[in-house]
Amino acid sequence: NAGVTQTPKFRILKIGQSMTLQCAQDMNHNYMYWYRQDPGMGLKLIYYSVGAGITDKGEVPNGYNVSRSTTEDFPLRLELAAPSQTSVYFCASSYRTSGGTIAKNIQYFGAGTRLSVL
Amino acid sequence: GENVEQHPSTLSVQEGDSAVIKCTYSDSASNYFPWYKQELGKRPQLIIDIRSNVGEKKDQRIAVTLNKTAKHFSLHITETQPEDSAVYFCAAREGYQKVTFGTGTKLQVIP
């Protein structure tokens, strides 16, 4: 298994350009997430998906769009790039384990995409 | 929604000493609390987690404690080593899908 694969690893955009960050997982996980991590800060949830065809906003969704047409893929779209979107973007996927009354939610992260908007 | 606070933001310890990182959460319905380690330039990786029906969990040099009444949980690393130097994130699960992360603690272990 490759796990969670993100492409590209690095990208520089000009203000107003658009791009799609790709994320794919081969672990048959239902749940997938996009986070951004600004320098020295924690992870903020942008969008998440609980399964193919279902997406929902996280904490900081403005300026982004997502789709989930298959279980494996969860691309993140930036339509009009702004300097405030300069960040490291992490995709993650997870599964729920039972084995009791409380399920876990173990998230596996991709290697990240470092994006600069100039 | 859930709010997770994490302290301290930076922590320096001598090699061999213990390190403790503390987190508080706001949503009493949260019942799953993972801890992630992120080395410089790398992805976050799960190191230990705890469910709310357990008060303490240990895995070799790492332990996590949970106080549901006070809504706080802590990570304890004993006999610290230089390779423990990293940023550590606590998190709390809200609902069935979303996990809310703390702001991170940069741990430096001084040889």
B99·A59 Cβ contact <8 A: no
Count of residues in chain B: 111
Disruptive mutation site among A49, A94, A102 for chain B (greatest number of B CBs within 10 Å): A102
Mean residue pLDDT of chain A comes to 91
pLDDT at A15 over 60: yes
Chain B positions in Cβ-Cβ contact with residue A47 (cut-off 8 Å)? none
Q: Residue A8: is the preceding peptide bond cis (ω within 30°)?
A: yes
Share of chain A above pLDDT 70, in %: 92
Average pLDDT of the residues in A56-81:
95
Which residues are B76's β-sheet partners? Answer: B20, B63
Identify which of B84, B51, B47, B70 has the alpha carbon closest to the alpha carbon of residue A100: B51
Cβ–Cβ gap B99/A107 under 8 Å: yes
Residues of A in contact with B46 (CB under 8 A): 106-108
Position with higher pLDDT, B98 vs A10: A10
**CA torsion angle B88 B93 B99 B100 (round to 10):** -60
Contact A42 B44 (CB under 8 A): no
A112 Cβ under 8 Å from any chain B Cβ? yes
Per-residue pLDDT band for A107 (boundaries 50, 70, 90) equals confident
pLDDT digits (tens, 9 = 90+) for B38-97: 999 899 999 999 988 889 999 999 999 999 999 999 999 999 999 999 999 999 987 666
Give the pLDDT score at A39.
84
pLDDT digits (tens, 9 = 90+) for B8-55: 999 999 999 999 999 999 998 898 899 999 999 899 999 999 988 889
Residues A79 and B41: their CA atoms lie apart, in Å, by: 26
- Show residues of chain B in contact with A54, CB under 8 Å: none
**Residues in chain A closer than 8 A to B104 (CB atoms):** 40-42
Mean pLDDT of the A33-42 span: 90
Query: A95 CB near a chain B CB, below 8 Å?
Result: no
| Contact (Cβ atoms closer than 8 angstroms) between residue B76 and residue B23 | no
- The pLDDT value given to residue A64: 97
